[in-house]
Amino acid sequence: MKTDEELRRAFHDLTDHDLPPGFTDLVVAGLPDRRRSTRWRAWTGAGVVAVLGIVVLVSLGPMRSGGDPEISAPPTAVVSPAASVPAAAEGVTLVVESTPGGAITGNRENVPIFELREGRAIYRDFEFGRSVSETKVAFLTDAQVRELVAFATGPGGMTEALTEYERGSFGPSGHTIITLESPELTKTVDYWLAPGNLVRDTDPALGGLPDLMDLLGRFSTAVEQGMASGGMALTDVELAEAIAFGDERFADLLSSTAYETDRVVPALGAGEALVYISVDPDGAAWPEIDACDIGGAEGPATGVVWLVDLAEQTILAVSPRWGTVDCLSGA
């Protein structure tokens, strides 16, 4: 039979930790019978060894798996961090401006055609020789922002482009200014004609700039093809946000923590929209509301989604969000 001191040394050799004082007595005290017969002492010794074995296995478990057992264990719920802005979107700005009939600096104001900031794209489509359309809004995920930057900086794109392309004309015809700020590249390109001219320009020195301008100048088509979500008129997006953020039940939540709009997209019903926000759960003051049961969702919610009626300017339904899980859309 192992003595107490031998058991303590064995435990220390295996775990580099010491048993707490009185550990053996605690084990013995927890057993159903404390009679000190020879058989009982042997069984007690075996019991202590078994307990030590369990302690050793628990201690060594995280060492084998490479970390804290709480980190290594599979999650019990679908919960994601409340990062309000995707990491890639956070450092990316892509802007296309047109300066009608004049230089970049002057009395004429630049007209933005496409503005991507923090994953939110505000854009106006144009056609050659025609004015731009109404202003629309779309939202890009982290992956979609990366794809767009890769397209803009790819072979023959912004990376290899000149900072200025002079183009003569018989009269004032404006400039097209493309500005990219990203971890991969920060650069401004000035093309001395309007965007429609750039799309049709076949000069090899332009590389892939005509394709980039064609994509950003007809971004509604890109949204339809799944390169972003939303595509609603800017006025409707602003109205949908105003309706959602005017929900008095969530006034304390919106004033108690940081939040960001993830996206505003058309709902299935005509004239309806879904407004998604992410919130910082730390210190968030959540209201008590009736919401559908979300199986497996535990811990503080990380966002809210509202279903709003734009015509009636009313809230039709609302749900907390846990990462990407909610009652209204499930995504």
Q: Report pLDDT digits (tens) over 177-223.
A: 999 999 889 999 999 988 888 999 999 999 999 999 999 999 999 99
Estimate to the nearest angstrom the gap between the alpha carbon of 243 and the chain centroid: 23
* Amino acid, single-letter form, for residue 328: L
Mean pLDDT of all residues in 283-303 = 74
Mean pLDDT of all residues in 122-132 = 77
- Asked whether 248 and 232 are in contact (CB, 8 A), the reply is no
Residue 109, token pair as written in the block: 């104001």
What pLDDT, on the 0 to 100 scale, is given for residue 68?
A: 28
Map out the domains of the chain with their CATH numbers: 4-72 (no CATH), 87-227 (3.30.1560), 232-326 (3.10.450)
What pLDDT, on the 0 to 100 scale, is given for residue 286?
A: 84
DSSP per residue, 248-305: GGGHHHHHHS-EEEEEEEE-SSTTEEEEEEEE--TT-----------TT--SS--EEE
Report field, pTM of the whole predicted structure over 0.75: no
Percent of the chain with pLDDT over 70: 64
Mean pLDDT of all residues in 233-245 = 96
**Least confident piece of the model among 133-142, 149-158, 268-277, 283-292:** 283-292
pLDDT in tens, 37-90: 222 222 223 333 333 333 333 232 322 222 222 222 222 222 233 333 445 677
- Asked whether 94 and 101 are in contact (CB, 8 A), the reply is no
pLDDT of residue 311 exceeding 70: yes
What pLDDT, on the 0 to 100 scale, is given for residue 194?
A: 86
- Asked whether 260 and 227 are in contact (CB, 8 A), the reply is no
pLDDT of residue 320 exceeding 60: yes
- Structural element, H or E, at residue 14: helix 4-15
Q: How confident is the model at residue 32 (pLDDT cuts 50, 70, 90)?
A: very low
Q: How confident is the model at residue 174 (pLDDT cuts 50, 70, 90)?
A: confident
What pLDDT, on the 0 to 100 scale, is given for residue 287?
A: 84
| 98 burial type by CB count under 10 A (0-12 exposed, 13-18 middle, 19+ buried) | buried
Residue whose structure tokens are 């060492």: 63
Of the CA atoms within 13 Å of residue 153, those in its CB half-sphere come to: 19
Q: How confident is the model at residue 124 (pLDDT cuts 50, 70, 90)?
A: very high
CB atoms within 10 A of CB 13: 8
